[in-house]
Structure 1
Amino acid sequence: MIIGVLNQKGGVGKTTLSVNLAAALALSGKRALLIDADPQGSALDWQSTREGDTLFPVVGMAKPTLHKDVPELAASYDHVIIDGPPRVNELAKSAIMACDLVLIPVQPSPYDVWAADDIVKLIQEVMIYKAKLKGRFVVNRKIVNTAIGRDVAEALRDYPFLVAETAINQRVAYAESAASGLSVLEFDSKGPAAREIKALVRELVEE
Protein backbone atom coordinates (compact mmCIF):
# COMPACT_ATOMS: atom_id res chain seq x y z
CA MET A 1 0.00 0.00 0.00
CA ILE A 2 1.24 3.50 -0.84
CA ILE A 3 0.14 6.16 1.64
CA GLY A 4 0.84 9.83 1.03
CA VAL A 5 0.80 12.32 3.91
CA LEU A 6 -0.09 15.68 2.42
CA ASN A 7 -1.52 19.05 3.32
CA GLN A 8 -0.88 22.35 1.58
CA LYS A 9 -0.66 24.08 4.97
CA GLY A 10 2.79 23.92 6.54
CA GLY A 11 3.45 23.03 10.16
CA VAL A 12 0.72 20.42 10.51
CA GLY A 13 3.10 17.60 11.47
CA LYS A 14 3.38 15.77 8.14
CA THR A 15 6.93 14.55 8.64
CA THR A 16 6.40 13.46 12.25
CA LEU A 17 3.37 11.47 11.17
CA SER A 18 5.14 9.99 8.13
CA VAL A 19 8.18 8.88 10.12
CA ASN A 20 6.14 7.26 12.86
CA LEU A 21 3.75 5.50 10.48
CA ALA A 22 6.73 4.01 8.63
CA ALA A 23 8.31 3.00 11.94
CA ALA A 24 5.14 1.30 13.16
CA LEU A 25 4.92 -0.69 9.93
CA ALA A 26 8.59 -1.67 10.07
CA LEU A 27 8.40 -2.72 13.73
CA SER A 28 5.38 -4.88 12.94
CA GLY A 29 7.53 -6.88 10.54
CA LYS A 30 6.52 -5.18 7.30
CA ARG A 31 8.99 -4.00 4.67
CA ALA A 32 8.48 -0.23 4.78
CA LEU A 33 9.96 2.59 2.72
CA LEU A 34 9.69 6.31 3.45
CA ILE A 35 9.92 8.67 0.47
CA ASP A 36 10.77 12.26 1.35
CA ALA A 37 9.00 14.28 -1.36
CA ASP A 38 9.27 17.55 0.57
CA PRO A 39 11.97 19.87 -0.86
CA GLN A 40 12.84 20.81 2.74
CA GLY A 41 14.04 17.23 3.28
CA SER A 42 12.87 16.96 6.89
CA ALA A 43 12.54 13.17 6.85
CA LEU A 44 16.08 12.86 5.49
CA ASP A 45 17.26 15.20 8.26
CA TRP A 46 15.52 12.95 10.81
CA GLN A 47 17.28 9.90 9.39
CA SER A 48 20.67 11.62 9.47
CA THR A 49 20.40 12.25 13.23
CA ARG A 50 19.81 8.57 13.94
CA GLU A 51 22.55 6.45 15.48
CA GLY A 52 22.82 2.72 14.80
CA ASP A 53 20.75 0.62 12.45
CA THR A 54 17.90 2.11 10.49
CA LEU A 55 14.36 0.76 10.78
CA PHE A 56 13.57 1.53 7.16
CA PRO A 57 15.19 3.31 4.22
CA VAL A 58 14.42 6.97 3.53
CA VAL A 59 14.73 8.10 -0.08
CA GLY A 60 14.66 11.73 -1.22
CA MET A 61 12.45 12.15 -4.28
CA ALA A 62 11.10 15.69 -4.46
CA LYS A 63 10.38 15.74 -8.18
CA PRO A 64 7.21 15.88 -10.30
CA THR A 65 7.89 12.47 -11.88
CA LEU A 66 7.20 10.78 -8.55
CA HIS A 67 4.17 8.89 -9.86
CA LYS A 68 6.31 7.33 -12.57
CA ASP A 69 9.23 6.44 -10.30
CA VAL A 70 7.44 5.10 -7.21
CA PRO A 71 5.85 1.91 -8.65
CA GLU A 72 9.24 0.32 -9.38
CA LEU A 73 10.53 1.24 -5.91
CA ALA A 74 7.34 0.07 -4.22
CA ALA A 75 7.59 -3.40 -5.73
CA SER A 76 10.24 -4.31 -3.14
CA TYR A 77 8.19 -3.20 -0.11
CA ASP A 78 4.95 -4.05 1.63
CA HIS A 79 4.14 -0.40 2.32
CA VAL A 80 5.44 2.96 1.14
CA ILE A 81 4.88 6.23 3.00
CA ILE A 82 5.31 9.47 1.06
CA ASP A 83 6.02 12.62 3.07
CA GLY A 84 4.54 15.12 0.64
CA PRO A 85 5.37 18.75 -0.16
CA PRO A 86 3.76 21.58 1.86
CA ARG A 87 1.91 23.24 -1.01
CA VAL A 88 -0.44 22.38 -3.84
CA ASN A 89 1.66 22.18 -7.01
CA GLU A 90 2.79 19.70 -9.68
CA LEU A 91 4.94 17.87 -7.14
CA ALA A 92 1.96 17.40 -4.83
CA LYS A 93 -0.18 16.20 -7.72
CA SER A 94 2.50 13.70 -8.72
CA ALA A 95 2.72 12.42 -5.12
CA ILE A 96 -1.06 12.00 -5.00
CA MET A 97 -1.05 10.13 -8.31
CA ALA A 98 1.43 7.65 -6.83
CA CYS A 99 -0.80 6.86 -3.82
CA ASP A 100 -3.49 4.37 -2.91
CA LEU A 101 -4.49 6.54 0.05
CA VAL A 102 -3.83 10.20 0.86
CA LEU A 103 -3.79 11.01 4.57
CA ILE A 104 -4.47 14.68 5.33
CA PRO A 105 -3.29 15.76 8.79
CA VAL A 106 -5.36 18.63 10.17
CA GLN A 107 -4.65 20.44 13.42
CA PRO A 108 -7.56 21.40 15.69
CA SER A 109 -7.87 24.89 14.27
CA PRO A 110 -10.43 26.50 11.96
CA TYR A 111 -7.53 27.73 9.82
CA ASP A 112 -6.55 24.13 9.10
CA VAL A 113 -10.12 23.21 8.19
CA TRP A 114 -10.33 26.12 5.75
CA ALA A 115 -6.91 25.30 4.29
CA ALA A 116 -7.95 21.70 3.56
CA ASP A 117 -10.04 22.82 0.61
CA ASP A 118 -7.18 23.05 -1.89
CA ILE A 119 -5.71 19.61 -1.16
CA VAL A 120 -9.20 18.04 -1.28
CA LYS A 121 -9.79 19.57 -4.71
CA LEU A 122 -6.44 18.29 -5.96
CA ILE A 123 -7.19 14.75 -4.73
CA GLN A 124 -10.59 14.88 -6.41
CA GLU A 125 -8.91 16.01 -9.63
CA VAL A 126 -6.62 12.98 -9.53
CA MET A 127 -9.58 10.70 -8.74
CA ILE A 128 -10.94 11.42 -12.23
CA TYR A 129 -8.03 9.36 -13.55
CA LYS A 130 -7.52 7.07 -10.55
CA ALA A 131 -10.95 6.00 -9.31
CA LYS A 132 -9.68 3.74 -6.52
CA LEU A 133 -7.72 6.52 -4.82
CA LYS A 134 -8.91 7.25 -1.27
CA GLY A 135 -8.60 10.31 0.94
CA ARG A 136 -8.69 10.38 4.72
CA PHE A 137 -8.35 13.13 7.31
CA VAL A 138 -6.59 12.65 10.62
CA VAL A 139 -6.84 15.14 13.48
CA ASN A 140 -3.20 15.77 14.43
CA ARG A 141 -1.71 17.54 17.46
CA LYS A 142 -5.01 17.44 19.28
CA ILE A 143 -4.85 18.86 22.81
CA VAL A 144 -5.57 16.03 25.24
CA ASN A 145 -8.87 16.21 27.13
CA THR A 146 -10.31 19.09 25.08
CA ALA A 147 -13.36 19.19 22.84
CA ILE A 148 -11.70 21.13 20.03
CA GLY A 149 -10.44 17.99 18.29
CA ARG A 150 -13.98 16.65 18.18
CA ASP A 151 -15.25 19.99 16.86
CA VAL A 152 -12.69 19.94 14.03
CA ALA A 153 -13.65 16.39 13.13
CA GLU A 154 -17.26 17.54 12.89
CA ALA A 155 -16.29 20.49 10.67
CA LEU A 156 -14.34 18.18 8.34
CA ARG A 157 -17.46 16.10 7.71
CA ASP A 158 -18.48 18.73 5.17
CA TYR A 159 -15.71 17.36 2.97
CA PRO A 160 -16.09 14.13 0.94
CA PHE A 161 -13.47 12.15 2.87
CA LEU A 162 -13.79 10.26 6.15
CA VAL A 163 -12.06 11.39 9.33
CA ALA A 164 -9.91 8.72 10.98
CA GLU A 165 -11.32 7.44 14.26
CA THR A 166 -7.83 7.67 15.77
CA ALA A 167 -6.66 11.19 16.63
CA ILE A 168 -2.99 11.97 17.19
CA ASN A 169 -2.52 14.06 20.32
CA GLN A 170 -0.02 16.79 21.08
CA ARG A 171 2.67 15.00 23.08
CA VAL A 172 6.23 15.88 24.08
CA ALA A 173 7.32 12.36 23.06
CA TYR A 174 7.03 13.23 19.37
CA ALA A 175 9.57 16.06 19.60
CA GLU A 176 11.88 14.28 22.04
CA SER A 177 12.04 11.12 19.93
CA ALA A 178 12.63 13.05 16.68
CA ALA A 179 15.60 14.89 18.20
CA SER A 180 17.37 11.52 18.55
CA GLY A 181 16.33 10.16 15.18
CA LEU A 182 13.91 7.78 16.85
CA SER A 183 10.24 7.01 16.43
CA VAL A 184 7.88 7.27 19.41
CA LEU A 185 7.57 3.47 19.28
CA GLU A 186 11.28 3.14 20.07
CA PHE A 187 11.33 6.08 22.47
CA ASP A 188 8.55 4.70 24.66
CA SER A 189 7.07 1.52 23.18
CA LYS A 190 4.20 1.34 25.69
CA GLY A 191 3.45 5.04 25.92
CA PRO A 192 0.29 6.77 24.69
CA ALA A 193 1.99 8.20 21.59
CA ALA A 194 3.10 4.74 20.47
CA ARG A 195 -0.36 3.34 21.10
CA GLU A 196 -2.11 5.97 19.01
CA ILE A 197 0.30 5.60 16.10
CA LYS A 198 -0.22 1.83 16.10
CA ALA A 199 -3.99 2.34 16.25
CA LEU A 200 -3.87 4.69 13.25
CA VAL A 201 -1.79 2.21 11.27
CA ARG A 202 -4.30 -0.55 11.99
CA GLU A 203 -7.13 1.70 10.88
CA LEU A 204 -5.42 2.68 7.63
CA VAL A 205 -3.84 -0.60 6.57
CA GLU A 206 -6.25 -3.21 7.88
CA GLU A 207 -9.53 -1.57 6.86
Structure 2
Amino acid sequence: MSGIIITVAQQKGGSGKTTLAAHLAVAFAQLAAIRGSGRVALLDCDPQGSLGEWFEARERTLGEDATGLAFRTASGWGARREARSLARDFGVVVIDTPPKSDVESRPAIEVASLVAVPVQPTPIDLWATQPTLEMIAKEGARSLLVINRAQSRSVLTQEIAEAILALGHPAADTRLGNRVAFAASMGEGLTAQETAPGSKGAAEIEALAVEIRRYVNF
Protein backbone atom coordinates (compact mmCIF):
# COMPACT_ATOMS: atom_id res chain seq x y z
CA MET A 1 0.00 0.00 0.00
CA SER A 2 1.38 3.41 -1.00
CA GLY A 3 1.74 6.29 1.41
CA ILE A 4 0.01 9.66 1.21
CA ILE A 5 1.72 12.47 -0.72
CA ILE A 6 1.12 16.03 0.50
CA THR A 7 2.49 18.65 -1.87
CA VAL A 8 2.87 22.23 -0.64
CA ALA A 9 2.58 24.55 -3.63
CA GLN A 10 2.17 28.26 -4.24
CA GLN A 11 3.52 30.14 -7.25
CA LYS A 12 3.62 33.40 -5.33
CA GLY A 13 6.88 33.77 -3.44
CA GLY A 14 6.99 34.63 0.25
CA SER A 15 3.90 32.63 1.17
CA GLY A 16 5.63 30.58 3.88
CA LYS A 17 5.62 27.42 1.78
CA THR A 18 8.88 25.89 3.04
CA THR A 19 8.09 26.69 6.68
CA LEU A 20 4.70 25.03 6.28
CA ALA A 21 6.22 21.93 4.64
CA ALA A 22 8.75 21.47 7.45
CA HIS A 23 6.20 22.03 10.20
CA LEU A 24 3.68 19.66 8.66
CA ALA A 25 6.30 16.94 8.19
CA VAL A 26 7.27 17.08 11.86
CA ALA A 27 3.61 17.18 12.92
CA PHE A 28 2.85 14.09 10.83
CA ALA A 29 5.90 12.34 12.29
CA GLN A 30 4.73 13.15 15.81
CA LEU A 31 1.26 11.80 15.03
CA ALA A 32 2.78 8.69 13.49
CA ALA A 33 4.80 8.06 16.66
CA ILE A 34 1.62 8.24 18.74
CA ARG A 35 -0.50 6.12 16.42
CA GLY A 36 2.19 3.70 15.30
CA SER A 37 1.64 4.54 11.63
CA GLY A 38 4.20 4.94 8.84
CA ARG A 39 7.30 7.09 8.83
CA VAL A 40 7.52 10.52 7.16
CA ALA A 41 9.75 11.66 4.29
CA LEU A 42 10.47 15.14 2.95
CA LEU A 43 11.11 15.79 -0.74
CA ASP A 44 12.63 19.14 -1.71
CA CYS A 45 11.93 20.14 -5.31
CA ASP A 46 12.86 23.80 -4.90
CA PRO A 47 16.26 24.63 -6.48
CA GLN A 48 16.78 27.28 -3.78
CA GLY A 49 17.27 24.40 -1.35
CA SER A 50 15.88 26.14 1.72
CA LEU A 51 14.27 22.96 3.00
CA GLY A 52 17.57 21.13 2.55
CA GLU A 53 19.36 23.77 4.61
CA TRP A 54 16.73 23.38 7.30
CA PHE A 55 17.18 19.62 7.30
CA GLU A 56 20.98 19.93 7.58
CA ALA A 57 20.49 22.26 10.54
CA ARG A 58 18.16 19.66 12.01
CA GLU A 59 20.86 16.99 11.68
CA ARG A 60 23.33 19.27 13.48
CA THR A 61 20.84 20.03 16.25
CA LEU A 62 19.43 16.54 16.82
CA GLY A 63 22.02 14.24 15.26
CA GLU A 64 21.85 12.56 11.87
CA ASP A 65 20.03 9.53 13.23
CA ALA A 66 17.54 11.45 15.34
CA THR A 67 15.76 13.77 12.90
CA GLY A 68 12.63 11.61 12.79
CA LEU A 69 12.41 12.24 9.04
CA ALA A 70 13.91 11.05 5.77
CA PHE A 71 15.02 13.65 3.24
CA ARG A 72 15.47 13.56 -0.54
CA THR A 73 15.77 16.07 -3.37
CA ALA A 74 14.49 15.98 -6.94
CA SER A 75 13.77 18.39 -9.76
CA GLY A 76 11.38 18.64 -12.68
CA TRP A 77 9.81 15.39 -13.79
CA GLY A 78 12.09 13.48 -11.44
CA ALA A 79 9.91 14.71 -8.58
CA ARG A 80 7.03 12.49 -9.64
CA ARG A 81 9.21 9.38 -9.80
CA GLU A 82 10.97 10.13 -6.51
CA ALA A 83 7.69 10.88 -4.72
CA ARG A 84 6.16 7.59 -5.84
CA SER A 85 9.29 5.73 -4.81
CA LEU A 86 9.23 7.29 -1.34
CA ALA A 87 5.50 6.61 -0.97
CA ARG A 88 6.22 2.88 -1.26
CA ASP A 89 8.35 3.00 1.89
CA PHE A 90 6.87 5.86 3.92
CA GLY A 91 3.42 6.57 5.30
CA VAL A 92 3.55 10.26 4.40
CA VAL A 93 5.64 12.18 1.87
CA VAL A 94 5.67 15.98 2.12
CA ILE A 95 6.90 17.84 -0.96
CA ASP A 96 8.14 21.43 -1.07
CA THR A 97 7.89 23.00 -4.54
CA PRO A 98 9.50 26.09 -6.10
CA PRO A 99 7.60 29.37 -6.54
CA LYS A 100 7.05 31.03 -9.92
CA SER A 101 7.50 27.82 -11.93
CA ASP A 102 4.57 25.77 -13.13
CA VAL A 103 6.92 23.51 -15.12
CA GLU A 104 8.88 22.53 -11.98
CA SER A 105 5.80 22.27 -9.75
CA ARG A 106 3.46 20.38 -12.05
CA PRO A 107 4.93 16.85 -11.53
CA ALA A 108 4.76 17.24 -7.74
CA ILE A 109 1.15 18.42 -8.04
CA GLU A 110 0.20 15.64 -10.43
CA VAL A 111 1.35 12.94 -8.02
CA ALA A 112 -0.17 14.50 -4.89
CA SER A 113 -2.90 13.00 -2.76
CA LEU A 114 -3.52 16.59 -1.65
CA VAL A 115 -2.00 19.97 -2.51
CA ALA A 116 -1.82 22.37 0.43
CA VAL A 117 -1.76 25.97 -0.80
CA PRO A 118 -0.65 28.56 1.75
CA VAL A 119 -2.08 32.02 1.15
CA GLN A 120 -1.58 35.15 3.19
CA PRO A 121 -4.81 37.03 3.98
CA THR A 122 -4.43 39.94 1.58
CA PRO A 123 -6.28 40.61 -1.70
CA ILE A 124 -3.01 40.63 -3.68
CA ASP A 125 -1.98 37.23 -2.31
CA LEU A 126 -5.40 35.80 -3.05
CA TRP A 127 -5.31 37.11 -6.64
CA ALA A 128 -1.80 35.70 -7.10
CA THR A 129 -3.00 32.29 -5.93
CA GLN A 130 -5.34 31.86 -8.90
CA PRO A 131 -2.68 30.45 -11.31
CA THR A 132 -1.72 27.83 -8.71
CA LEU A 133 -5.34 26.78 -8.24
CA GLU A 134 -5.84 26.62 -12.00
CA MET A 135 -2.78 24.39 -12.38
CA ILE A 136 -4.01 22.09 -9.60
CA ALA A 137 -7.42 21.83 -11.23
CA LYS A 138 -5.84 21.09 -14.60
CA GLU A 139 -3.87 18.20 -13.09
CA GLY A 140 -7.00 16.88 -11.42
CA ALA A 141 -5.49 17.05 -7.94
CA ARG A 142 -7.28 17.84 -4.68
CA SER A 143 -6.42 21.17 -3.07
CA LEU A 144 -6.78 22.75 0.34
CA LEU A 145 -6.11 26.45 0.86
CA VAL A 146 -4.39 27.29 4.14
CA ILE A 147 -4.60 30.84 5.44
CA ASN A 148 -1.10 31.65 6.68
CA ARG A 149 0.31 34.52 8.75
CA ALA A 150 -3.16 35.61 9.77
CA GLN A 151 -3.61 38.48 12.19
CA SER A 152 -5.91 37.51 15.04
CA ARG A 153 -9.27 39.27 15.07
CA SER A 154 -8.40 41.04 11.81
CA VAL A 155 -11.34 42.18 9.69
CA LEU A 156 -9.20 41.71 6.57
CA THR A 157 -8.41 38.11 7.49
CA GLN A 158 -12.11 37.37 7.85
CA GLU A 159 -12.89 39.09 4.56
CA ILE A 160 -10.25 37.04 2.75
CA ALA A 161 -11.54 33.86 4.35
CA GLU A 162 -14.99 34.69 3.00
CA ALA A 163 -13.53 35.50 -0.42
CA ILE A 164 -11.78 32.10 -0.48
CA LEU A 165 -15.08 30.37 0.22
CA ALA A 166 -16.64 32.38 -2.62
CA LEU A 167 -14.00 30.97 -5.00
CA GLY A 168 -15.43 27.53 -4.44
CA HIS A 169 -12.09 26.00 -3.42
CA PRO A 170 -11.81 24.01 -0.17
CA ALA A 171 -10.09 25.84 2.67
CA ALA A 172 -8.78 24.53 5.97
CA ASP A 173 -10.72 25.48 9.07
CA THR A 174 -7.39 25.89 10.84
CA ARG A 175 -5.65 29.22 10.25
CA LEU A 176 -1.98 29.77 10.98
CA GLY A 177 -1.20 32.98 12.82
CA ASN A 178 1.71 35.32 12.24
CA ARG A 179 3.84 33.59 14.88
CA VAL A 180 7.49 34.42 15.59
CA ALA A 181 8.01 30.80 16.69
CA PHE A 182 7.52 29.49 13.16
CA ALA A 183 10.43 31.39 11.64
CA ALA A 184 12.64 31.33 14.74
CA SER A 185 12.52 27.55 15.06
CA MET A 186 13.50 27.01 11.41
CA GLY A 187 17.00 28.41 11.99
CA GLU A 188 17.71 25.55 14.40
CA GLY A 189 16.32 22.91 12.06
CA LEU A 190 13.34 22.55 14.35
CA THR A 191 9.67 23.54 14.39
CA ALA A 192 7.41 25.47 16.73
CA GLN A 193 6.09 22.18 18.11
CA GLU A 194 9.63 21.38 19.28
CA THR A 195 10.89 24.78 20.43
CA ALA A 196 7.63 26.07 21.87
CA PRO A 197 5.42 23.07 22.71
CA GLY A 198 2.03 24.12 23.93
CA SER A 199 2.25 27.50 22.22
CA LYS A 200 -0.49 28.86 19.96
CA GLY A 201 1.69 28.26 16.90
CA ALA A 202 2.36 24.65 17.87
CA ALA A 203 -1.33 24.06 18.52
CA GLU A 204 -2.27 25.53 15.13
CA ILE A 205 0.16 23.28 13.23
CA GLU A 206 -0.97 20.21 15.16
CA ALA A 207 -4.62 21.04 14.44
CA LEU A 208 -3.87 21.54 10.74
CA ALA A 209 -2.06 18.19 10.52
CA VAL A 210 -5.03 16.43 12.11
CA GLU A 211 -7.40 18.26 9.78
CA ILE A 212 -5.40 17.21 6.72
CA ARG A 213 -5.32 13.60 7.91
CA ARG A 214 -9.09 13.60 8.19
CA TYR A 215 -9.50 15.38 4.87
CA VAL A 216 -7.38 12.83 2.99
CA ASN A 217 -8.56 9.97 5.23
CA PHE A 218 -5.26 8.47 6.31
User: Above 0.5 in TM-score?
Assistant: yes
In the TM superposition, what is the alpha-carbon distance from 1:24 to its structure 2 partner? 0.5
In the TM superposition, what is the alpha-carbon distance from 1:177 to its structure 2 partner? 0.7
Q: Name the structure 2 match of 1:181.
A: 189
Cα distance in structure 1, aligned partners of 2:78 and 2:158: 37
Structure 1 counterpart of 2:26, from 13, 18, 23: 23
- Between the aligned residues of both structures, percent identity stands at 34
Tell me the TM-score normalized by structure 2.
0.89
Structure 2 counterpart of 1:33, from 41, 44, 56: 41
SS at match of 2:149: strand
187-196 or 153-162, which moves further after superposition?
Answer: 153-162
6-15 or 21-30, which moves further after superposition?
Answer: 21-30
SS at match of 1:157: helix
Q: Name the structure 2 match of 1:95.
A: 108
Q: Name the structure 1 match of 2:50.
A: 42
- Aligned-partner residue type, residue 172 of structure 1: V
- Aligned-partner residue type, residue 84 of structure 1: T
SS at match of 1:163: coil
Cα distance in structure 2, aligned partners of 1:92 and 1:125: 13
1:159 matches 2:167: yes
In the TM superposition, what is the alpha-carbon distance from 1:145 to its structure 2 partner? 2.6
Point out where structure 2 has 5 or more consecutive residues left out of the alignment: none
1:81 matches 2:81: no
Q: Name the structure 2 match of 1:139.
A: 147
- Matched-pair contact (CA < 8 Å) for 1:138–1:164: yes
Q: Name the structure 2 match of 1:69.
A: 82
Q: Name the structure 2 match of 1:6.
A: 9
Tell me the TM-score normalized by structure 1.
0.93
In the TM superposition, what is the alpha-carbon distance from 1:148 to its structure 2 partner? 1.9
Cα distance in structure 1, aligned partners of 2:107 and 2:83: 10
In the TM superposition, what is the alpha-carbon distance from 1:192 to its structure 2 partner? 0.8
In the TM superposition, what is the alpha-carbon distance from 1:105 to its structure 2 partner? 0.4
SS at match of 1:4: strand
- Matched-pair contact (CA < 8 Å) for 1:35–1:82: yes
In the TM superposition, what is the alpha-carbon distance from 1:179 to its structure 2 partner? 1.3
CA RMSD of aligned residues (A): 1.2
Greater share of helix residues, 1 or 2? 2
